[in-house]
């Protein structure tokens, strides 16, 4: 199911002419594979192996774009970092 949703997310990005960089693809794939909320720090730690130049600012920027497109959900946790999850039912 997550693979199907990832494909729909990629189609939505193409339809809106949003550039799909390798880092954005990796971030989106990571979110759709997780199945639960994750933090920017956890995302960076997971992706830095393949993308050593990825940083929190890049992740935040991409998450903002994904959120505007309805591809991710954001969860504010009191006393904690923001958490993000793929919008699997998009």
pLDDT of residue 5: 84
pLDDT of residue 46: 96
- Residue 76 to residue 12: CA distance in whole angstroms: 25
Whether the pLDDT of residue 90 is over 50: the answer is no
Q: Tell me which of 30-39, 54-63, 71-80 is least confident.
A: 71-80
Three-state DSSP class for 84?
strand
User: In the structure, what pLDDT confidence band is assigned to residue 31 with cuts at 50, 70 and 90?
Assistant: very high
**Strand partners for 86:** 72
Q: What percent of the chain has pLDDT over 70?
A: 92
Where do the domains of the chain lie, and which CATH numbers do they carry? 2-86 (1.10.10.10)
- Residue 48 to residue 70: CA distance in whole angstroms: 25
- Residue 79 to residue 4: CA distance in whole angstroms: 34
| Structure-model confidence comparison of residues 80 and 36, the more confident one | 36
């Amino acid at each position: 199911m997550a693979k199907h949703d990832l494909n729909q997310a990629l189609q939505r990005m193409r339809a809106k002419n949003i550039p799909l960089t390798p880092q954005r693809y990796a971030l989106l794939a990571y979110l759709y594979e997780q199945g639960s909320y994750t933090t920017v720090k956890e995302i960076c730690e997971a992706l830095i192996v393949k993308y050593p130049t990825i940083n929190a600012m890049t992740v935040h920027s991409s998450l903002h774009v994904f959120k505007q497109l309805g591809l991710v959900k954001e969860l504010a946790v009191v006393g904690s970092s923001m958490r993000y999850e793929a919008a699997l039912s998009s």
